[in-house]
Structure 1
Amino acid sequence: MRQVTSLQTALSPPGMVARVKISPAVEMDGLPEGNKLALRVYLVEDSDVMRQQLMMTLSEELSIDWVGFAETETEAREWFERNPAGWDIALVDLYLREGTGAGVLRHCRKRPEAQDVLVMTNHPTSSLLTHCRLLGANAVFDKSKELGDLIAYCIGRAYHSSAPKTQVFFQ
Structure 2
Amino acid sequence: MAELQVQGLADLRGRMNGLSDRLVKNVLRASLRKGANVVRAQARANFNTADGPDEITGALKASIRVTPRRGTPTRVVFSVVAGDLTAAQTKKFGTKAAFYALWVEKGHINRKAGQALRGSKVSLKATRAASTNNTPAHPFMQPAIEAKAQEALDIVIQAVGDKLPEVAG
- The answer to whether the superposition gives a TM-score over 0.5 is no
- Give the TM-score normalised by structure 1: 0.24
TM superposition score normalised by structure 2 = 0.24
Structure number with greater CO (CA < 8 Å, separation at least 6) is 2
* Greater Rg over alpha carbons, structure: 2
In terms of fraction of residues, the more strand-rich structure is 1
- Richer in helix (by share): 2
